[in-house]
Amino acid sequence: MIKTKKRGDLIIISGTTCAGKGTVIKKLLERHNDIVLSISYTSRAKRDYETNGVEYYFVTREEFERKIRDGELLEYNEYAGNYYGTPRKEVVEKLETGKDVVLEIEVNGAKMIKERYPETVLIFIMAPSMEEVKRRIKMRGAENNEQILARFKTAYNEINQVNNYNYVVVNDDVEEAVKKVESILVSEKLRVDRIEEIFVENQEEIIHEFLIEKEFVNEERDI
Ligand code: 5GP
């Protein structure tokens, strides 16, 4: 009776640094074949544990700026001194195959996407406290003090932009956080504005049959 749009959902998952959004997304992808992650371009240096083409496509600033000029990016932003951007073609193609596409991007990029594509689902993942963020940044130990400070300041600014999002999930327990994101995505599929068409089959016939069953209508006289 209901025909829904076949296109997948565009989902943005942002969060303060060290909020654990990467882990939440990883678990989400492991459990749902119909959800895929968009791999961004970045000009930031690759960390030891990262692989080109897995976490990001690592490119030079020059190559990134060429992509901006050629309109290859759906959105981009400079964050803590490096460029980050979403590839346009891959995202559009994946959405058209009916897959839901997750963009793990920061608040300014999210805002840009929301303005252009208002039907995007925006989820913000928060760490339980800033003390916890500080502890996790130090534990990761991948950056110098200046970079850590820049990330910490950015985290404060980001929290002030939560009202641009549709949902906020506090990650004090990863399993619980994943469940919450899953229920958001299920609810989004049930939104009335996702319905393309509502049609009622054989309405007259069904009412007639129903009335006959209830002996409200004398079938012979009716014919
Ligand atoms: P990180 O350097 O820790 O991997 O990422 C820094 C920030 O950049 C994170 O908040 C991450 O979500 C964001 N980010 C990653 N890819 C993109 C992107 O394509 N566009 C934008 N605007 N932000 C991104």
Q: What is the pLDDT of residue 158?
A: 85
CB 64 near ligand 1, within 6 Å: no
Neighbours of 56 (CB within 10 A): 18
Report the amino acid identity of residue 182. Answer: E
For ligand 1, say whether the CB of 77 is within 6 Å of any of its atoms: yes
Q: What separation in Å is there between the alpha carbon of 127 and the centre of ligand 1?
A: 17
What are the residues facing 4 on neighbouring strands?
A: 195
Rounded distance between C-alpha atoms, residue 11 and residue 101, angstroms: 6
pLDDT of residue 217: 60
Residue type, position 67, single letter: K
Distance CA 63, CA 189 (A): 37
Q: Is there a contact between 15 and 207 (Cβ–Cβ < 8 Å)?
A: no
Provide block-wise average pLDDT over 10 residues at a time, the chain (223 residues).
80 90 95 96 95 96 98 94 96 95 95 94 93 80 76 82 94 96 94 78 81 69 53
Three-state DSSP at 47 gives: coil
Q: Which atom of ligand 1 is nearest to the CA of 44?
A: 2
Residue 105 CB less than 6 A away from ligand 1: yes
For residue 206, what pLDDT is reported?
A: 82
Number of the ligand 1 atom closest to the C-alpha atom of 112: 22
Strands (E), 80-138: 82-87, 100-103, 121-126
